[in-house]
Structure formats: C-alpha cells, structure tokens
C-alpha cells in the first residue's frame, strides 16, 4: 500500500503574524508537519512546545524548530519574516527594509532544494511577492502572496454587518494593492447571489454614502488596529491558513491573492490582488472579471503606483 503524502509546511518568521498562523494551522488540522524558522531560536523552541500542547484537541502534527535545510521536501514555505509596519507607516514604506531580508531568505530556501510553493505575507506583500518570484527563479504559478484575501474578508464582514446577513453568504472582492490604492469591486458584490445594486434598491436605508464609508473602513482598518494594539495578526493568520488549506487539499478554490498578471486586467509583469484558482500546483488560472470603467481605472492606478516603487526599490538594491 502506498504511503499517504505528508503535507509539510515551513514557516519563516515567528513573530505575531507567523505564530498566529501556526496556531491557526494547529487548530484547523492543516498539514501534517510544521517547521518554524526564526532568528530568535529561543522563541521558536517556546512556540513549538506551546503549540504541541494544543494537539490533543485538534489532530496529530509534527511541530519542530526548523533550519533552512528542512525546506528541501516542504510543500509550502510561508514567509512572514521582515520588518513590521509601525504606526504612521504605509505598507509601501517597508519596501527597502524588507527587500534585503527577503533576498537572503529566498536564496537560502532555494539552496535547500525546495521545489514547492512560496506564500508571502510580509508587507508590502505584492511587491515582496514579486521580489520572491525574481529572487527564486520559480514559475510565477508557484509564488503567491496573501494579497487582498484579508481585505476581502473585511469587506464581506462589513457588508454582512450592514445588511444583517451572515458574512459567509456575502460575496465581494477587494482588488489591487494590499494597501492604500486597493479598491472595492462593487460591480460584482452580491448577497446570496443578489447583486448589491439590487439589494440597495429594496433597502433604501442603505445609501451610497454608507457604502463609501464601508470601503474606507476596510481600506484603513489596519491603521486603526495598529494604533490600538500595535499590529494586526489574527485576520491575516486566518487568511494564510485558508490559502494553505486550499493548496494542500488541491481544492481548486478561488481566492483573492497576490498573483502574477501577464495581460489580465490590462496589466503585465506585476503581482497584485486578484481572484485566482488555487490547487496543489499553485495558481492554475487567474479569474478575469469584467470590471467597470471606474474599477479598471483604479486597477491601472494601483498597478502603476506599485510598479514605480518596484523599479525604485530594485534600483536601490542593486546599488548596495
């Protein structure tokens, strides 16, 4: 009898986001092995011991303090390491700081013989996913970022709260940069299949001003959380766990992630938030929704802004 495939996850970066992601995988029984890498080896040992205590209430999993050599036979390497966003900083402010860190990390992962899928969470996630693709030399289908998965979850939650509907029955997307230039795709938002436009017609208490407020609340939510508690980590951890689950289970799930565009949405040579089909091989295809003229303009602006930052950051990296 053939041995069942072991699903192995390596997490690099055991800070607030990374440790919360690890805890999410344990509670949900995602993966059979979880190796954790961080420069703070003492913290990793403590987290491994702490996470193991939760296994009796979830499912069996091998959890261990890992080295880069352990990436060799991993299915997924999740990158959560790097400088965190501080109060008053935008995600794009972090580019130069984190490019140097990522170059070293990705080089070590690839040197191990790793041949799986990279999942990037560190901000600015779209740009660092692009950098991971460049540094690794991997096919773009096997390098993805968390993108607007968290933003879209926030969007669905806000619409659900506004309409008094379970957010799981709300289908709505945030696309573009995971950051200040992201945009709401109102043209495809629906509640139980009913377009948002039609819902509003029969619920006059929901006006355009309130919908605009929802978008701003979603876009700026990270700033409010950082102001209050210093960092965001539970929402993104749950988003990462969902992405990893879709990959390991070969689901063919459609999720809004940071994905490479090669002509889709009139964009080329960029990673940006858009819906894509995820399988055990990574991105099977990008779902190209017909955007309104206004939404397409917002996509163009978001992509254009990030390309400027990418060009500047990589030029700076080459001169170091």
Active-site positions read: 178
Which of the 8 DSSP states describes residue 189?
-
Q: How far apart are CA 62 and CA 242, in angstroms?
A: 20
> Count of residues for the chain?
320
Please name which of 234, 259, 251 lies closest in space to residue 173, comparing C-alpha atoms. Answer: 259
What angle separates helix 293-318 from helix 125-136, to the nearest 10 degrees? Answer: 50
The tokens describing 133, both together, are: 């693709």
* CA angle (310, 276, 309) in 5-degree steps: 10
Three-state DSSP state, 36: strand
- Pair of tokens at residue 73: 């036979």
What is the rounded distance in angstroms from the CA atom of residue 275 to the CA atom of residue 255?
5
Question: How far apart are alpha carbons 250 and 137 in whole angstroms?
Answer: 23
Radius of gyration of the chain (CA): 19
Residues near 104 by beta carbon (within 8 Å), at least 6 away in sequence: none
């Amino acid at each position: 009898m053939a041995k069942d495939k072991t699903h192995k996850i390596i997490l690099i970066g055991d800070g607030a986001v990374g440790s919360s992601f690890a805890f999410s995988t344990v509670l949900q029984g995602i993966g059979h092995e979880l190796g954790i890498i961080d420069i703070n080896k003492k913290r990793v040992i403590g987290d491994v011991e702490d996470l193991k205590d939760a296994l009796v209430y979830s499912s069996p999993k091998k959890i261990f303090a890992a080295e880069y050599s352990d990436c060799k036979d991993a299915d997924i390497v999740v990158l959560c390491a790097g400088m965190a966003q501080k109060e008053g900083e935008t995600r794009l402010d972090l580019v130069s700081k984190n490019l140097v860190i990522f170059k070293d990390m990705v080089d070590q992962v690839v040197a191990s013989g790793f041949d799986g899928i990279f999942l990037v969470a560190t901000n600015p996630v779209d740009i660092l996913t692009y950098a991971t693709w460049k540094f690794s030399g991997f096919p773009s289908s096997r390098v993805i970022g968390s993108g607007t998965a968290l933003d879209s979850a926030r969007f669905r939650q806000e619409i659900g709260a506004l309409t008094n509907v379970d957010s799981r029955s709300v289908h709505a997307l945030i696309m573009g940069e995971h950051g200040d230039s992201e945009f709401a795709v109102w043209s495809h938002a629906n509640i139980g299949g009913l377009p948002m436009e039609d819902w509003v017609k029969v619920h006059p208490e929901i006006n355009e001003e309130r919908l605009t407020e929802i978008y701003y609340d979603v876009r700026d939510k990270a700033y409010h959380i950082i102001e209050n508690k210093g960092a965001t980590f539970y929402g993104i951890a749950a988003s990462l766990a969902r992405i990893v689950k879709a990959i390991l289970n070969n689901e063919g799930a459609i999720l809004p992630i940071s994905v490479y565009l090669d002509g889709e949405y009139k964009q080329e040579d960029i990673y940006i938030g858009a819906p894509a089909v995820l399988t055990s091989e990574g991105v099977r295809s990008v779902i190209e929704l017909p955007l309104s003229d206004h939404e397409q303009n917002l996509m163009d602006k978001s992509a254009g802004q990030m390309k400027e930052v990418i060009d500047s950051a990589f030029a700076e990296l080459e001169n170091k």
